[in-house]
Amino acid sequence: MKRYKYLISKVLWASLSIVFVMILNFFLFRVLPGDPARAGVKDPRLTAEAQDAIRVRFGLDKPVINCFESINPLKFGSCLVNPLDTQFFIYAGNLLQGDLGTSYHTNRPVKDMIGESLVNTIILIGFGQMIAIFLGMALGLIAAWKANTAIDFATLGFCLVAWSLPTFWLGIVLLFAGSTWLGLPVVGKFTPGGGLATGLPLFLDVGKHLILPTLTLSVIMLGEYMLIMRSTSLEIFSEDYILTAKAKGLKTFYILKDHVLRNAMLPMVTIIALNLGFTVAGAIQIESVFSWPGLGLSIFEAVGRRDYPMLQGSFLMIAITVIFANLLAELMYSYLDPRVQAI
């Protein structure tokens, strides 16, 4: 099918998913019993007027959404209420303006705090994924080529173990080993005060702090990628066109490079896309362990501090990022697979 048609359908679908997530996000935080502002509001030290004032400030006096008769305590409003004056549309309106609310903890706009975090998470995931993908494809291919030999079994063993490790635990172990035996920094993005540096010293400082977190993420993802690459390669090895390539007189190295690798990239891209949720879960755990100031740490801290606007904003941001990354992967796939192209 034509590429632009393919892309349009994917973009539409991604948009639909984002809208779904936004709606889900809203209802989760309004409907579930752990209602954010109510938690703040129930503080017995507040007077009744103060509680009302808070309620008004956070728009909790308005009905959640209209056309459902009030089902206490959910407070759905009747159809006569102006739909735009319901919590849902206020929320939607705010979102479209980029307003994600105000943090209970710092009183700063959530979107500012998230902006900084998002970049850090992308740095962590970016490096970790690159290493894992590169090594995963290379080692998986080698393991397939040497299938059923000692190298292969060792590789398979490593993959199965790596896959079974809880990410946070691997982080803890590496943190312990790294700080005790290697003297690597294990907390945060900079050494205290280092955020003021620029240029090379800044890069080196951040780089040193990145080593352990990135290593953790790479090891976890590596296991899965190697496994998939290995089984994909084995399947490709049995294809007729590999026999043709061999009959043409190509040496094994070139067959692996020009025929196997190229064809293996398709399922790999699909797997990487499928694993984005897994990657994000890993990032959350790693950031929590190493106090790396990304979106994952934001969620972790927001949970601990009951900072619900922050939690809601972080969740939305993470979900949207994943949907977007998924879209990018599909875009890449459309370039790799010639069947998504011309007539």
Shortest distance (Å) from residue 61 CB to other proteins: 21
Q: Is 11 in the site for other proteins (CB under 8 A)?
A: no
Q: Which of 138, 173, 182, 328 binds other proteins (CB under 8 A)?
A: 173
Question: Three-class SS string for the chain?
Answer: CCHHHHHHHHHHHHHHHHHHHHHHHHHHHHHCCCCHHHHHHCCCCCCHHHHHHHHHHCCCCCCCCCCCCCCCCCCCCCCCCCHHHCHHHHHHHHHHCCCCCECCCCCCEHHHHHHHHHHHHHHHHHHHHHHHHHHHHHHHHHHHHCCCCHHHHHHHHHHHHHHHCCHHHHHHHHHHHHHHHHCCCCCCCCCCCHHHCCHHHHHHHHHHHHHHHHHHHHHHHHHHHHHHHHHHHHHHHCCHHHHHHHHCCCCHHHHHHHHHHHHHHHHHHHHHHHCHHHHHHHHHHHHHHHCCCCHHHHHHHHHHHCCHHHHHHHHHHHHHHHHHHHHHHHHHHHHHCCCCCCC
Nearer of residues 204 and 251 to other proteins, judged by Cβ: 251
Q: Is 150 in the site for other proteins (CB under 8 A)?
A: no
Site string for other proteins, 294-323 (x = CB under 8 A): -----xx--xx------xx-xx--xx--xx
Q: Is 216 in the site for other proteins (CB under 8 A)?
A: no
Q: Which of 284, 309, 310, 332 binds other proteins (CB under 8 A)?
A: 284
Segment lying near other proteins (by CB under 8 A), choices 24-32, 51-59, 81-89, 197-205 = 24-32
Segment lying near other proteins (by CB under 8 A), choices 47-55, 67-75, 125-133, 232-240 = 232-240
Q: Is 28 in the site for other proteins (CB under 8 A)?
A: yes
Nearer of residues 66 and 312 to other proteins, judged by Cβ: 312
Q: Which of 41, 131, 179, 202 binds other proteins (CB under 8 A)?
A: 179
